C-alpha cells in the first residue's frame, strides 16, 4: 500500500502551517464557523445597533419634550423616526434572537454545531455592511428615508439616494435572515441527539423552528415590495403610481403581508426564552407542553391571514374590515393559551426571584397588556379613530420592548453564566430590572393617553394640550436609555469575572437540568395527575 504524503493529511499544509487551523485575533472572528463565536458576534452587533437606534429614539423624545421646534428640523426628525424603526427591528431585536439561537440550539439539541457552519459565518457578516448602509444613508444628499420604517410610496418614490441605500440594506438583511433560517431548520430537523423526538425538544427550539419557517415565507415578500419601489424610482415602472395605473395601497398589502408575521418573528423566540426560564425558577416542568407547541404553530399560521388590520383607514370594503377584525381577534386565543400555561407553570411552584425570573415576570405582565391594547386596535371602528396616533406607538412598544427586549435581557442573565463561566452581580441585575421596568412604563404608558386624546405620531411639533404627558414620556425615555448603559456595565463585569463567583455546572440550583425539565419533586397538585385522596 502506497504511503500518503504528510501534506495531504493536513489539507495540503506542511508542519509550519498547522496553526492556521486555529487563527487568532481578528482573523478568528472573520473566519470562525463556531456557533458560539457567531452567536456572540450576533449579540454584540445587536447591542451596538440597539444603542444606535436608542440614540435616535432619544433625539425624537428630546424634540417632543416641549411643543415647538427646538432640537432638530422636521426633515431630520422624520429620518430619525424611520431609521429608528428599521434599525431596532432588523438590526437590534432580530439579530439578538438569532444570536441566542446560534448559542443555544446546538447545546439544547445535542448537535456538534449548526448544520451549515460556513453559511452561518456568512449570514452574520452580511449584517455589518447592511447596518453601515442604513446609517450612512443619513449623510448622503437628500438624507435617508423619511417615510417611516414602513417605507410607504409615494413618499419613498420621491426621495434621494438614501432611499436606494435603505432598499439595498433591506435586501442584504433579508438574505442574512433567510440563510440563518435555513440553517436553523436543518439543524433542528437533522441534527437532534438520538432519542430526542420533536415533541421532546425544548420550547426554545420549537419557537425557533416555527419562526424560521415564518422568515423564509415572508422575507422574499418584503424583498419584492422594495424591489418594486426601486423599479418605480429608476426604471419607469408604475407599480405604486396611480398616474400610471398603479396603486399605492397595493404596497401596503404586500408590506403588511410581511409586516404582520414579522411581529411574531420577533415575539415567538421571546416566548421560547420565557418558556425556558419560568419553569426553571418555579422548580416545575412547563405546564401543557403540547398545547404550547400547538399554540405557537397556530399563532404563526394565523399571523398570515390578518395583515390588513393595519389598513382599516385605506377604504377597504366593509366585508374585508369585518373579516380582518374577527381573524385578528382570533389570534388572542392561542396567545391566551400561552399566558395561561405560563401562569399555571408558576402555580404552587417554589419560585425564586432572580433577575432572569424578574424580567420574565415583567414580560408576562407588560406583554399581556400590549396584547390587550392590540385587541382594542383590532376593532375596526376603534382603530379608525386611533390609527396613526400615539396609542398605536404605545401598543407596539409594549409588545416589542416589554415583550422582545425584556425576554432578551432575561436570556442574557439566564444563559450568561453558562457562556462566560462567571455569575453576574445579582444586586446590580435587580437594579437594572427595576430601573428598566419603571422607566419603560413612565415612557410608554402616558402615550396611551396622548393617543386617546388624538395626538398623531411621527410629528415633530404638537398642540399645547399634549405637552405634559410628552414631557413625562421624554423623561422616562432618557431614564430607560441610561439603564441600558448600566446593563452593558453589568455584562462586562460578568465577562471579566468581577462578581468573583464562578458559575457552577448548573448555575440555577439544579433548575437547569437539560434546560427545560426540572429534577425537583412535583408539588402536591400539578394539574397533570389527579391528587391522591386519602
Is 177 catalytic? The answer is yes
Is 149 catalytic? The answer is yes
- The answer to the question of residue 351 being in a domain is yes
Please state, as a whole number, how many other Cβ atoms lie within 10 Å of the Cβ of residue 231. 13
pLDDT at position 238 over 80 = yes
Task: Identify the active-site residue in 187, 275, 380, 407.
Answer: 275
Q: Which residue has the cell 452561518?
A: 120
**pLDDT recorded at residue 501:** 86
Q: How many domains does the chain have?
A: 1
pLDDT at position 343 over 70 = yes
Task: Identify the active-site residue in 10, 13, 457, 458.
Answer: 457
Is 262 catalytic? The answer is yes
Mean pLDDT for the chain? 90
Task: Identify the active-site residue in 42, 46, 81, 84.
Answer: 84
In CATH, what number is assigned to the domain containing residue 361?
Answer: 1.20.210.10
**pLDDT recorded at residue 534:** 52
- The answer to the question of residue 200 being in a domain is yes
pLDDT at position 330 over 90 = yes
**pLDDT recorded at residue 499:** 84
> pLDDT, tens digit, for every residue of 474-489?
999 999 999 999 999 9
- The answer to the question of residue 10 being in a domain is no
**pLDDT recorded at residue 509:** 66
Q: Which three cell numbers stand for residue 129?
A: 455592511
Percent of the chain with pLDDT over 70: 91
Question: For the purposes of burial, counting CB atoms within 10 Å of the CB of 2, is it exposed (0-12), middle (13-18) or buried (19 or more)?
Answer: exposed
Percent of the chain with pLDDT over 90: 83
Confidence class for position 508, pLDDT limits 50, 70, 90: confident
- The answer to the question of residue 144 being in a domain is yes
User: First CA to last CA across the chain, in angstroms?
Assistant: 77
Is 84 catalytic? The answer is yes
Task: Identify the active-site residue in 35, 192, 260, 448.
Answer: 260
Confidence class for position 5, pLDDT limits 50, 70, 90: very low
CA distance linking residue 199 with residue 186, whole number of Å: 17
Is 391 catalytic? The answer is no
- The answer to the question of residue 534 being in a domain is no
Is 517 catalytic? The answer is no
**pLDDT recorded at residue 158:** 80
Task: Identify the active-site residue in 208, 264, 469, 508.
Answer: 264
Confidence class for position 21, pLDDT limits 50, 70, 90: low
In the predicted model, what is the mean pLDDT of residues 72-90? 94
In the predicted model, what is the mean pLDDT of residues 269-273? 97
- The answer to the question of residue 69 being in a domain is yes
Task: Identify the active-site residue in 149, 251, 469, 516.
Answer: 149
In the predicted model, what is the mean pLDDT of residues 299-325? 96
CA distance linking residue 132 with residue 138, whole number of Å: 10
Is 264 catalytic? The answer is yes
- The answer to the question of residue 179 being in a domain is yes
Confidence class for position 142, pLDDT limits 50, 70, 90: confident
Please state, as a whole number, how many other Cβ atoms lie within 10 Å of the Cβ of residue 383. 23
Task: Identify the active-site residue in 262, 425, 512, 515.
Answer: 262
pLDDT at position 528 over 50 = no
Task: Identify the active-site residue in 137, 166, 176, 282.
Answer: 176
Q: What is the pTM of this model?
A: 0.90
> pLDDT, tens digit, for every residue of 219-234?
999 999 999 999 999 9
- The answer to the question of residue 529 being in a domain is no
Range of the domain at 118: 31-517
Amino acid at each position: 500500500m502506497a504511503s500518503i504524503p504528510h501534506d495531504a493529511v493536513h489539507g495540503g499544509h506542511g508542519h509550519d502551517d498547522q496553526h492556521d487551523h486555529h487563527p487568532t485575533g481578528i482573523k478568528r472572528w472573520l473566519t470562525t464557523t463556531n456557533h458560539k463565536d457567531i452567536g456572540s458576534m450576533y449579540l454584540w452587533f445587536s447591542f451596538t445597533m440597539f444603542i444606535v437606534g436608542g440614540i435616535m429614539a432619544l433625539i425624537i423624545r428630546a424634540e417632543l419634550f416641549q411643543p415647538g421646534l427646538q432640537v432638530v428640523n422636521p426633515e431630520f426628525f422624520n429620518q430619525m423616526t424611520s431609521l429608528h424603526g428599521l434599525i431596532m427591528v432588523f438590526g437590534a431585536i432580530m439579530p439578538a434572537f438569532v444570536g441566542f439561537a446560534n448559542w443555544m440550539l446546538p447545546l439544547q439539541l445535542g448537535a456538534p454545531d449548526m448544520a451549515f457552519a460556513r453559511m452561518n459565518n456568512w449570514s452574520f457578516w452580511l449584517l455589518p455592511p447592511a447596518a453601515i448602509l442604513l446609517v450612512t444613508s443619513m449623510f448622503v444628499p437628500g438624507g435617508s428615508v423619511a417615510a417611516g420604517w414602513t417605507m410607504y410610496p409615494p413618499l419613498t418614490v420621491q426621495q434621494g439616494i438614501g432611499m436606494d441605500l435603505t432598499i439595498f440594506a433591506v435586501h442584504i438583511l433579508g438574505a442574512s435572515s433567510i440563510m440563518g433560517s435555513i440553517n436553523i431548520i436543518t439543524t433542528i430537523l437533522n441534527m437532534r441527539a438520538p432519542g430526542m423526538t420533536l415533541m421532546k425538544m425544548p420550547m426554545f427550539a420549537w419557537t425557533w423552528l416555527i419562526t424560521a419557517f415564518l422568515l423564509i415565507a415572508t422575507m422574499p415578500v418584503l424583498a419584492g415590495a422594495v424591489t418594486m419601489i426601486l423599479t418605480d424610482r429608476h426604471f419607469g415602472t408604475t407599480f405604486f403610481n396611480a398616474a400610471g395605473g398603479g396603486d399605492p395601497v397595493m404596497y401596503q398589502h404586500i408590506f403588511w403581508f410581511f409586516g404582520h408575521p414579522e411581529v411574531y418573528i420577533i415575539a415567538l423566540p421571546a416566548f421560547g426564552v420565557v418558556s425556558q426560564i419560568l419553569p426553571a425558577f418555579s422548580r416545575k416542568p412547563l405546564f401543557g407542553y403540547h398545547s404550547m407547541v400547538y399554540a405557537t404553530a397556530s399563532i404563526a399560521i394565523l399571523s398570515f391571514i390578518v395583515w390588513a388590520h393595519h389598513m382599516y383607514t385605506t377604504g377597504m370594503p366593509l366585508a374585508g374590515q369585518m373579516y380582518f377584525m374577527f381573524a385578528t381577534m382570533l389570534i388572542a386565543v392561542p396567545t391566551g393559551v400561552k399566558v395561561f400555561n405560563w401562569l399555571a407553570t408558576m402555580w404552587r411552584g417554589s419560585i425564586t426571584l432572580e433577575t432572569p425570573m424578574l424580567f420574565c415576570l415583567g414580560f408576562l405582565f407588560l406583554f399581556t397588556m400590549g396584547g390587550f391594547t392590540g385587541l382594542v386596535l383590532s376593532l375596526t371602528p376603534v382603530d379608525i379613530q386611533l390609527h396613526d396616533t400615539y396609542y398605536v406607538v404605545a401598543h407596539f412598544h409594549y409588545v416589542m420592548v416589554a415583550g422582545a427586549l425584556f425576554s432578551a435581557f432575561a436570556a442574557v442573565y439566564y444563559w450568561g453564566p453558562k457562556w462566560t463561566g462567571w455569575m453576574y452581580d445579582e444586586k446590580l441585575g435587580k437594579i437594572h430590572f427595576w430601573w428598566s421596568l419603571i422607566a419603560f412604563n413612565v415612557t410608554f404608558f402616558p402615550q396611551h393617553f396622548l393617543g386617546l386624546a388624538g395626538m398623531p405620531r411621527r410629528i415633530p411639533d404638537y398642540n399645547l394640550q399634549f405637552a405634559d404627558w410628552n414631557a413625562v414620556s421624554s423623561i422616562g425615555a432618557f431614564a430607560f436609555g441610561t439603564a441600558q448603559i448600566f446593563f452593558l456595565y453589568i455584562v462586562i463585569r460578568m465577562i471579566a469575572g468581577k462578581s468573583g463567583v464562578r458559575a457552577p455546572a448548573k448555575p440555577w440550583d439544579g433548575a437547569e437540568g437539560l434546560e427545560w425539565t426540572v429534577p425537583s419533586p412535583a408539588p402536591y397538585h400539578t394539574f397533570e395527575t389527579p391528587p391522591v385522596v386519602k
